[in-house]
Each structure stands twice: as structure tokens, then as C-alpha cells.
Chain A
Amino acid sequence: MVRLLFLLTIAWSSQSWAVIETYEFSSPDLEQRYKALSQELRCPKCQNQNIADSNAPISRDLRAIVHEQLEAGASDQEITNFLVDRYGEFVRYRPGVDSNTLWLWSAPVVLFVMAIAVVLLQIRKDRDGQTVSSNAERADRLKEKFDGDQS
């Protein structure tokens, strides 16, 4: 009885977890590309999931499309274009460069250049101004300041 219950539990739980269907591929290469593509395509319905992770009906449809087109011999680019035509650049987690995404793509470079500029400016400022040539000079300055405060 216990054993039967156990088996039923196992059977039931595996069924409830099998939300995402599996596909048979004619070659391991296609399967690899399917995995890569479904990781990189975004579900239009549940916006922070890729179509590989999402169990929304639309993601199921898109996975079927990707599978079907891969088996039909389409290139990754062709499949991506097919979906971008219908759902917009939004379906790609790595969108192409256009007027909308220009800032997205250029921000790392711009920020890096700005950071370098700030560091260089700071270094130059340090060199010109506050640096002291020797310990002796620093001691003199301190003494001067200390004496000045005392009087």
C-alpha cells in the first residue's frame, strides 16, 4: 500500500512538472542551436522570461516554430528575423543597434571613457597641487601650520 502510494506520488509529481515539452531533433547540432535560440528569444507575454523557461501558450508556440524551422533547415538568423518581423526587436534579448537601443549599446563605452577621464584628471590634479617632494618638506609645512594655529 505504502509502495503504491509512493509510486502514485512519483507519477503525479513528474506529470505536474512536465510543463515544457521536449522535441526530438534529427541531429545533436540542431538540438544545440535550439537550446541557444530558445534561451535568447524572449517571451512577449511574460516579459522577463525567455521562451525556454516560460510555459505561456505563446512561448509554446514559439518553441514549436523554432523547432519546425530548424528541422526545415533555416539559419539562426532567418528564424530570429521571422520572429522579429512579427513581434519586434523586443523578442531578442540581444537587440540589434537602432535608434532605440543606441544608448543601451553605447553606454558601457561612454561610461568607461568617462571613468578613465575622471581618474586621469584626478591624477593630474594630485601631481600639480597637493603632492610634496619629501618628508622634510611635509614636516616643515605641518610645523608652519601648527605654529600658525598656536599663535
Chain B
Amino acid sequence: MQPLKRFLPLAAFLLLVVLLVRGLSLDPTELPSARLGDSLPEFELPILGESSSRRAEDWHGEPALINVWATWCFSCRVEHPYLLELAEKGIIIYGLNYKDDPEKALIWLDDLGDPYAETVVDEAGVFGLDLGVYGAPETYVIDASGVVRHRHVGVVNEDVWIEQLAPYFEVRDGEPELVGSSD
């Protein structure tokens, strides 16, 4: 009994080390979306620069990224060139112009290039709220049936694409395809 007891403080210390190392390696700012595994919330929003509008169902059929952006968002400018690269690879990116001035948004796309298959305008942030957006930029992965699979908060760059987003797409013959999109 006595020799065992002698190691009790050491055991407690090791337990503490394990807990602290784990605690420090967790990122408390990382929030999984509350919408994971759910269909995209219903919406009907005008398309930027056009008079027609879009609904959630219109984005079904192929896996895609939904990128939440605004002209007031500095980080959006940072990730923009990489989004253009992704679009060039054939990844479908839908833009959600979030709480922004549509005219400024059009100028932004004219100046910097347009990576979006189409951009819908959410001036009041109503759809953003339904989706659980709390800032820009945010990027969501939806599968072919419109189910939210992943959310990334912050700038999308090559690391983020490879580690977090690309696993949901499989690029075959230049055509992206979502892995396990059967459900």
C-alpha cells in the first residue's frame, strides 16, 4: 500500500499534464455550425445584378461551397484570389453577399474578378441568421441534396481547402464530385 501511495502525486501530476495539454491544443473559437447535417434553410433572395431570385432548392444537384462575403470585410479580400483559383478548378461556389450594399458588391466583383457561379444578396442578414452566420468570411460545404456538411469560419486558403474542404469534393476528370453524396 505504501509504495503505491508514493506514486499518487506523480499520477495526479501526469493526469493534470494530459488535461492541460489537451486544453491548450483545443481551439475554443472553433464552432461547428448548428446546421451540420440539416438541409439548407429556406430562402428566396435576389441574385446580385439581376432581377430574378433564387431559392434553396435551386442550389441542389451538385456539391458546392457557399461563401459568405461583403465589401466591408477585409479578410474577404484576402481570400478572394484563392476563391478564383478554386472556381477555375471547377468547384462551384455560391456567393452570399451578407449585409452589404449591392452596388459596392458589383464594383468589387468587376474589379477583383467573380469566382461565384452566382451571388445572392442578403442585405438584411435574414438568411445569414437562419444559417447561423456570425461574421464574414464564412464558407459552407453543401452536398448534392443541399445538406450542410461543413462550415469554415475565416479565410479560405490552400491549407484550409486541402484539410477541411477538399475531402468533401473529389475532382475526377476536372469535374468535382462530393464524396459519399448518396445520402
CA distance A45 to B135 in the complex (A): 7
Chain B residues with CB under 8 A of A44: 31, 132, 134
Q: Is the interface of A mostly helix, strand, loop or mixed?
A: helix
Within 8 A of B (CB), among A82-109: 84-88, 90
In this complex, what residue of A is CB-closest to B126?
A61
> A47 contacts the other chain (Cβ, under 8 Å)?
yes
Whether the pair A61, B125 counts as a contact (CB closer than 8 A) is yes
Choice from B28, B29, B125, B132 contacting A88 with Cβ under 8 Å: B132
Interface residue tally for chain B (C-beta within 8 Å): 15
With A84-B34, A88-B34 in contact, is A47–B28 under 8 Å at CB? Answer: yes
> B99 contacts the other chain (Cβ, under 8 Å)?
yes
Which of B31, B130, B131 counts the most A-chain CB atoms under 10 A from its CB? B31
Whether the pair A86, B135 counts as a contact (CB closer than 8 A) is no
CA distance A90 to B151 in the complex (A): 15
In this complex, what residue of A is CB-closest to B38?
A85
In this complex, what residue of A is CB-closest to B99?
A57
B155 to chain A, nearest CB (A): 16
With A44-B134, A57-B99 in contact, is A90–B31 under 8 Å at CB? Answer: yes
Within 8 A of B (CB), among A11-44: 44
With A57-B99, A58-B135 in contact, is A88–B129 under 8 Å at CB? Answer: no
Chain A residues with CB under 8 A of B125: 61
Which of B130, B131, B134, B135 counts the most A-chain CB atoms under 10 A from its CB? B134
Whether the pair B34, A61 counts as a contact (CB closer than 8 A) is no
Whether the pair A88, B135 counts as a contact (CB closer than 8 A) is no
Whether the pair A87, B135 counts as a contact (CB closer than 8 A) is no
B126 to chain A, nearest CB (A): 10
A86 to chain B, nearest CB (A): 4
Within 8 A of A (CB), among B17-62: 28-29, 31-35
CA distance A57 to B31 in the complex (A): 18
Whether the pair A87, B32 counts as a contact (CB closer than 8 A) is no
In the assembled complex, 26 residue pairs joining A and B whose CB atoms fall closer than 8 Å, in A order, are A44-B31, A44-B132, A44-B134, A45-B135, A47-B28, A47-B29, A56-B135, A57-B99, A57-B135, A58-B134, A58-B135, A61-B125, A61-B129, A65-B129, A85-B34, A86-B34, A86-B35, A86-B129, A86-B130, A86-B131, A86-B132, A87-B34, A87-B132, A88-B32, A88-B132, A90-B31
Closest 4 CB pairs of A and B: A88-B34, A44-B134, A58-B134, A86-B132
**Besides A47-B28, A57-B135, 16 new A-B residue pairs in contact (Cβ under 8 A), listed by A number:** A44-B31, A44-B132, A45-B134, A45-B135, A56-B135, A84-B34, A85-B34, A86-B34, A86-B130, A86-B131, A86-B132, A87-B34, A87-B132, A88-B31, A88-B32, A88-B132
Interface residues of A (CB under 8 A from B): 44-45, 47, 56-58, 61, 65, 84-88, 90
Interface residues of B (CB under 8 A from A): 28-29, 31-35, 99, 125, 129-132, 134-135
